[in-house]
Structure 1
Amino acid sequence: MTNNDILRRIRYALDIKDKDAISLFGLGNVTINEAQFLALLAKEEDANYHSCSNEQILGFLDGLILKNRGPRDGDPAPRPEQAEPINNQVFKKLRVALELKAEDILDLLALAGFEVRKPELTSLFRKPGHKHYQACGDQFLRNFLQGLALQRRHGGEQAPTATE
């Protein structure tokens, strides 16, 4: 999954309008205008497509955290010292922004038809280098975002399949 895919899926799942998304980038200290934002939403085959950088997607998520939870008391959150896979960072920031508990995340994954156990989930939130740390794969993040969309946009019901 590319950062552009992640941005499109988050925007859809949370029903974020263009102007609101641009303001979230601003809250996360990323300056972006409407044309640049639309280029991030474009498909790779479109002429105006522009790749979304890690700084942009993380800035967007930082803005979402600030909008939903307000500024952090005390010192700002430290940046991870070790390079952590972008999927883990995205997953952690969404968990914080949406104030999700482990049970909430397991429910979202179940909505998407992706069953995991709690130990598998907690391994994604560990620090890199911990013996039980696990990188968040594209499939895991994709199913989490699908479950989020199902919950937020379809009232928690599974979407109809192609055969229904």
Structure 2
Amino acid sequence: MLNNEAFRRIRYALELDDATTVKIFADGLYTCDEEAVKKFSRKDSDETRVIFPDKEFAHFLNGLIVHRRGGKPAEVAPNEAINNNKTIKKLRIAMEMYEDEMLVVFDYGDIRLSRHKLSALFRTEGHKHFRECNDHTLRQFLKGLAIYCDRQRQSQSS
């Protein structure tokens, strides 16, 4: 999945406005302004969008972890490559989700996973039980995350 699409969907699911997103980038040790956030957030069909490089996306995900949990951001390698598995792993850390909550989120996204298949997504590449997270799985996870977060907000306001 393109980083721009994942970025848009994460912002939608977590209801992140531009100012908060800039702060998250700062927490991830990356400097950008609201205009850059808007360019990264534009749809693929928009000719004025800017391709969101892996390194900057890694800064965003690390910043999201720091923003939600505190601590120091992880170092981002100059040639950092972000794939769907890393994206889900970093979101799981940021959201402080346990296995049961992850299964609920996938369920909201209309994907039924067993515990074994879920754990396979978090294995290191090359492990015999590693399972690659395809674009459809990540899209459905982010769709489920939006529903999950919305229900969390509703239960807190009641």
- Matched to 1:8, the amino acid is R
Range 63-72 or range 14-23, more displaced: 63-72
- Name the amino acid aligned to 2:108: L
Out of 88, 93, 96, the residue aligned to residue 96 of structure 1 is 93
- Answer yes or no: is 1:11 the counterpart of 2:11: yes
Amino acid of the structure 1 residue aligned with 2:99: A
Aligned length: 150
- Corresponding residue SS for 1:36: helix
Separation of aligned partners in 1, 2:65 and 2:86: 13
Equivalent residue runs for 1:3-152 within 5 Å: 3-72=3-72, 77=74, 86-152=83-149
Q: 1:34 to 1:84 in 2, by over 3 A?
A: closer
Q: Which runs of 4+ in 1 moved over 6 A?
A: none
State how far apart, in whole Å, the 2-side matches of 1:116 and 1:89 are. Answer: 18
CA RMSD of aligned residues (A): 1.9
1:16 and 1:150, CA in 2 relative to 1: closer, same or farther beyond 3 A? same
- Structure in which a larger fraction of residues adopt helix: 2
Runs of 5+ unmatched residues, structure 1: 157-164
- Which of the pair has more CA radius of gyration? 1
Please list every run of 5 or more consecutive structure 2 residues that lacks an aligned counterpart in the other structure.
Answer: 153-158
Q: Residues of 2 paired with 1:27 and 1:111: CA distance?
A: 30
Query: Could you state the TM-score of these two structures normalised by the residue count of structure 1?
Result: 0.84
- Residue 98 of structure 2 aligns with an amino acid whose one-letter code is K
Alignment identity in percent?
35
String of CA shifts for 1:99-145, please: whole Å, max 9, x gaps. Answer: 01111010111112211111011011111111111111111111111
